[in-house]
Amino acid sequence: MKTIIAQKPLAASHSHVVPPRSVICRGGGFGKSNKKVETGGSGIYTAPKTKKRVDLAKELGVDNAAASAAAVVPAAPASETEVLSKGNWFPLAKASDFAGDKKRKICELKGNKQVVVLHQYQDTIYAMNAYSTAYQYPLIDAKIEDGPDGPTITTPLDGTIYDLKTGKVIKWVPSDGSPIRGLLRTLKADVKPVPLPVYPVLVKTDGTVMVRLS
């Protein structure tokens, strides 16, 4: 709202002086108000006081661009030392052990009598218990191939199929119509499927293949 002071021009020398009056004008646009502003009779317009906006980031010395960039910086990947500090890791092989056509290796830990088989498939090394969970059949010659949800490993004896990454049972002693598979299926028909124990693998920068067994 604007206040405009309107004065009547002085008449002839014989006329009296008309005192100033306050005239209320309603203005549009930003900052309009219905509040009446009085001049106090002085004829001088005094603008209402407005609150100053404070840029908190500027006042604190924070650079908005730098702060935004810092908020989206991804965390650095864990180093070998950090990974190997959690759990019990064992050096079971060298990356060179899988060169050429050699894509598998049996490793026996004499301390706890545990046997682990390592399989390399598509440049990735996987570690698992060396024996199947249905009939404890060796997995050194197991078939590895791509499945719908990732690589799988198939037991040669009974045909049980596991997820190579998780050890989850995909098919438990399936019957393929052969007499032997049919018999093996019958013997395990009432047995709950048992997942295959698999273990995390880390290949160090020097080529050492580390396996976490616990």
Q: Where are the domains of the chain?
A: 1-47, 85-212
Of the candidates 200, 197, 201, 214, the one whose C-alpha atom is nearest the C-alpha of residue 98 is 201
Of the candidates 176, 204, 172, 205, the one whose C-alpha atom is nearest the C-alpha of residue 189 is 172
- Residue 164 near residue 146 (C-beta atoms within 8 A): no
Q: Which CATH superfamily is domain 85-212 in?
A: Rieske [2Fe-2S] iron-sulphur domain (2.102.10.10)
H-type helices in the chain, by residue range? Answer: 56-59, 64-71, 80-84, 179-187
Compute φ and ψ for 63, nearest 5 degrees.
-85, 115
What confidence score (pLDDT) does residue 75 get? Answer: 55
Where does the pLDDT of residue 29 fall: very low under 50, low under 70, confident under 90, or very high at 90 and above?
Answer: very low
Residue pLDDT, tens place only, 152-182: 999 999 999 999 999 999 999 998 888 999 9
Residue 211, pLDDT > 50, answer yes
What confidence score (pLDDT) does residue 186 get? Answer: 95
What confidence score (pLDDT) does residue 13 get? Answer: 46
The number of residues in the chain equals 214
What confidence score (pLDDT) does residue 194 get? Answer: 98
In a 10 Å sphere around its CB, with 0-12 CB exposed, 13-18 middle and 19+ buried, how is residue 84 labelled? middle
Residue 199, pLDDT > 80, answer yes
Residue 18, pLDDT > 70, answer no
Name 71's Cβ contacts closer than 8 Å, sequence gap at least 6.
none
What is the pTM assigned to this prediction?
Answer: 0.63
- Residue 158 near residue 149 (C-beta atoms within 8 A): no
Residue 10, pLDDT > 70, answer no
- Percent of the chain predicted with pLDDT > 70: 64
What confidence score (pLDDT) does residue 57 get? Answer: 53
Strand 124-129 and strand 114-121: the pairing is: antiparallel
Residue pLDDT, tens place only, 61-104: 555 555 454 455 555 567 888 888 898 999 999 999 999 888 99
Using DSSP's 3-state secondary structure scheme, residue 106 falls into strand
**40: phi > 0 → left, psi -120 to 50 → alpha, else beta; which?**
left
